């Protein structure tokens, strides 16, 4: 917020640091998101372009590879820019997150249009991973069983990758919004997040994908499951906003829920159901009355 140079140092520097500490990538995209939310299109595009140039130079000097660092940076920054711009212009967090959902769904569709069957590409990549595991396999490692699981998961890795990318985009945007509120509107982020409620269109689209995945078979069912994985991320985020709204500022219980996720990840299912059904059931109002 102090100037273009500081913004580029933050955005590009955090991206380069994330090559060693992957989670730092969230803060790189969040830094660009903050510039976009606060300064608008012109300034944020300038920061994005110069950050890409810095990444290209740093990639050439440090790794001898101009393209790798540049593409990596663009993958971090380009998706968050239109979503942050939409949030800036509309002021609707739900709409911005649904736009991120649309980008991730387009990525899944694009993977199928370009490759025809992306599972084959994933299987090749996972086979390389399996070969590496065989070299350092512990006693009792069953290569045939691992290969069967690999072939199964290869069919759904497109959805998993898109869902992971959406989660990174959503977290980057939420961090940017949190920073903006901390600087210019203290307390505003929490109020905005706990009020998050998806539109019914997102719910109907997610319902259609899940129904198609359950009722169809073969490649159609596989495609629908990959699409459904992306919806699951958004529904889970919306569900957590309801959990925060209902528990208020009870940090002990909120912390307990997040810690429980590490042990019982199945907790995500009822949380996602809260977010999915909220456009129709309005859980905040119903539970507040009870």
Residue pLDDT, tens place only, 165-221: 999 999 999 999 999 999 999 999 999 999 999 999 999 999 999 999 999 988 999
Choose the final residue of a domain: 58, 78, 98.
Answer: 78
- Asked if 172 and 210 sit in the same domain, the reply is yes
Whether residues 137 and 271 share a domain: the answer is: yes
Same-domain check for residues 246 and 188:
yes
Say whether both 73 and 85 belong to one domain: no
Q: Which of the listed residues 78, 102, 117 is the one where a domain comes to its end? A: 78
My answer on whether 62 and 109 are in the same domain is no
The pTM is what? 0.91
Pair (16, 108) in one structural domain: no
Same domain, 74 and 86: no
38: containing domain: 1-78
The answer to whether residues 196 and 116 belong to one domain is: yes
Q: Do residue 157 and residue 201 come from a single domain?
A: yes
Does residue 233 share a domain with residue 138?
Answer: yes
- In terms of Cα–Cα distance, which of 120, 131, 130, 128 is closest to 154? 120
Residues 230 and 278 in one domain: yes
Residue range 36-87, pLDDT digits in tens: 999 999 999 999 999 999 988 888 887 777 777 788 888 999 999 999 999 9
How many independent structural domains does the chain possess? Answer: 2
168/272 same-domain check = yes
**pLDDT > 90 in the chain, percent:** 66
Residue 152, classified by CB atoms within 10 Å of its CB into exposed (0-12), middle (13-18) or buried (19+), is exposed
* Residue where a domain terminates, one of 21, 53, 78: 78
């Amino acid at each position: 917020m102090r100037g273009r140079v500081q913004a580029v140092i933050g955005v590009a520097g955090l991206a380069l640091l994330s090559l060693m500490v992957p989670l730092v990538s969230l803060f790189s995209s969040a830094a660009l998101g903050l510039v976009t939310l606060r300064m608008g299109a012109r300034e944020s595009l300038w920061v994005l372009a110069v950050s890409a140039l810095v990444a290209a130079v740093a990639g050439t000097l440090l790794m001898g590879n101009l393209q790798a660092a540049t593409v990596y940076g663009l993958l971090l920054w380009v998706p968050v820019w239109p979503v942050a711009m939409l949030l800036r212009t509309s002021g609707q967090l739900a709409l911005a997150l649904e736009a991120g959902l649309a980008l991730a769904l387009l990525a899944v569709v694009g993977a199928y249009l370009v490759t025809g069957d992306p599972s084959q590409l994933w299987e090749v990549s996972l086979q390389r991973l399996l070969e590496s595991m065989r070299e350092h396999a512990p006693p009792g490692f069953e290569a045939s069983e691992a290969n069967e699981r690999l072939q199964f998961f290869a069919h759904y890795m497109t959805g998993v990758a898109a869902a992971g990318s959406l989660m990174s985009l959503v977290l980057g945007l939420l961090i940017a919004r949190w920073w903006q509120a901390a600087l210019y509107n203290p307390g505003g982020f929490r109020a905005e997040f706990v009020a998050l409620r998806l539109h019914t269109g997102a719910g109907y689209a997610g319902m259609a994908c899940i129904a198609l995945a359950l009722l169809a078979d073969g490649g159609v069912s596989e495609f629908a499951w990959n699409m459904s994985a992306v919806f699951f991320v958004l529904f889970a985020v919306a569900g957590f906003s309801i959990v925060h709204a209902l528990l208020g500022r009870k940090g002990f219980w909120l912390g307990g829920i997040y810690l429980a996720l590490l042990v019982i990840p199945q907790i995500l299912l009822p949380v996602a159901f809260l977010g999915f059904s909220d456009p129709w059931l309005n859980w905040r109002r119903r539970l507040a009355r009870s």
